[in-house]
Every structure is written in C-alpha cells, then in structure tokens.
Amino acid sequence: MLKHLKSNRAVGNNFAGHDANSCLTEEDIIRYLFHKIADEERFQIENHFTECDLCYDLIAGARKFNSEKELRSHLEQTRREIQKKFLRSVPARRGSKLAYYSAAALVLIAFSGFGYWMSHDPNRQLADEYLKPYSNTIPLSRSQSQETLLEEAMAAYELEDYTLAKGMLSEFIDQNPNNLSAHLYCGISALISNDDLESIAHLQKASYSQDTRIADAAEWYLALANLKLDNINEAKTILVRVVNKNGYFTDSARSLLERIKNE
C-alpha cells in the first residue's frame, strides 16, 4: 500500500520546500494511469491527489502521454537533459543522486515546463532551425482496400501528425524490424516530437541502409538529434561525414557546422 502518501494541500504549485517523499512516485503514477490496480490503492491515490496540488498536476501532466512507454521515454529524456545541464552548471555535484533528477523530471512534465525549458536551450534551438521533415519516399496506394499499416503511418506523416506517425511506425517496426525506411521516418517523427533518444535509436539503424537516400538522410537527422542533446562532438563528426558525401544535405550540414563553431 501507499503508506508514504500524506496531505500537501498547502503546497499548491510551489515545489520549493515540498516533501517529495510524501507524494506519488513515478511508479505510482504509471500504475494508476496504465495498469489495473486494486480498488483500495486507486482510492488512496485519488484521495491523495485531490488533497495535493502538486500530485494533481503530476497526474494531469502525465495524462498527456498515450502509453506507459511514451511517458517513460519522456521522463528518461528529461532526466538526461536535467542531469547534463545540472552537472555542467554545478560540476562539484557529480555525486548527486538520481532521485533529484527523477523528481525534477516529474515536476517539469507536471507543469508543462519541459517544452518551455527545452525550447530555450541554444543547441536545441539551433537544431530546430534546420529541422525540416524529409519528403516521403514510400509510395502510398491511395486505396483503402490495399492500405497497409506502413501506408497509414506515412499518410499521418504527410499530414504532419508526427506523434501518430511515430506510434504507427513503431508498431510496424515491431513486426518488420529490418525495414530501414520505416526506421528513418520513425526517427524523424520522434525527433520532431522531441523524443530525441528514441529518434537516435531508429536513425542509427537507418544509417546502415544500402539505399543512399535513406542512409544520407538518417545521418543528417542523427546529427540534429545529437545537437539537440548537446552531444556537440558527435554532431560535428556526423556533419563532417555528411559534408564529405557531397549529397543532398551537404550545404545544410556545412552551414550548420559553421553555426556551431560560431556559437
């Protein structure tokens, strides 16, 4: 049972001085939203967040995600971003516990501060300047009777519904793990949706394609994903490769390299 829960009604939306040990944990929230739990546990959780403004906002923020996998992915990405920036600004605290980052990640998601905070990161802003969707190279049948899951996903991609496209492409990849074109577009959709870690996983696979269009595009977007995550050296290494290929993305890669050097 959730014996750690206490009332924190007076805290409101102020996390400062809040006793995080008395509130819902990440696992509590995930169980409540995505798993079948006992009535008594559900009652305890609901009773708590009706009395605790912080946990109410945590639940509200977490409801924006369609699945446990999506929520966990965003939490992990947020933790990494917080940890990277925290250690960069306060190097002496390299021994800080992961609990700090976990709590901060939950709070950012609760108050929708993640998007605001991320949008003010200079490397992320720079990457977003260059981030444009790649044209669809997977032909669509345009016939409902012949429409496949991949075609439905690419239709969503063309309609710029990248969250839907990402989910459908992920489902398709589960059944077709060696389809590198699907990995490319899933990676791009994830990148546009700010799922940078998931993006990198798919783009790395797509970069091994024998189709140079797929491989070259994957490397370009992989550079942008690394730039978003402040992996500057890795981003520059990939961009140099893209420049040397003298392909479709060469001019953009050369321009971005110059911008990185001047930042």
Q: Are 82 and 97 in contact (CB under 8 A)?
A: no
First to last CA, the chain: 51
52 SS3 class: coil
Predicted pLDDT at 39: 80
Predicted pLDDT at 77: 74
121 SS3 class: coil
159 SS3 class: coil
Nearest by Cα to 217 from 182, 256, 184? 184
> Dihedral, CA atoms, 163, 166, 170, 173, nearest 10 degrees?
160
Predicted pLDDT at 12: 35
Domain locations along the chain: 9-118, 127-262
E strand or H helix that includes residue 55: helix 53-62
Write out the two tokens for 222: 């992989």
User: How do the pLDDT tens digits run along the chain, 263 residues long?
Assistant: 454 554 443 333 333 344 445 677 778 888 888 887 888 888 888 778 777 777 777 777 777 777 888 888 877 777 676 666 555 544 444 444 445 445 545 555 544 444 544 555 688 889 999 999 999 988 665 545 445 899 999 999 999 999 999 999 999 999 999 999 999 999 999 999 988 888 999 999 999 999 999 999 999 999 999 998 888 999 999 999 999 999 999 999 999 999 998 76
Ramachandran class of 139: left when φ > 0, alpha when ψ lies in -120 to 50, beta otherwise: beta
CATH code for the domain defined by 127-262: 1.25.40.10
Residues of 93-121 as b/e, b for ≥16 C-beta within 10 angstroms? eeeeeeeebbbbbbbbbbbeebeebbeeb
Predicted pLDDT at 15: 36
Q: Are 2 and 45 in contact (CB under 8 A)?
A: yes
Q: What's the length of the chain? A: 263
Q: Are 41 and 47 in contact (CB under 8 A)?
A: no
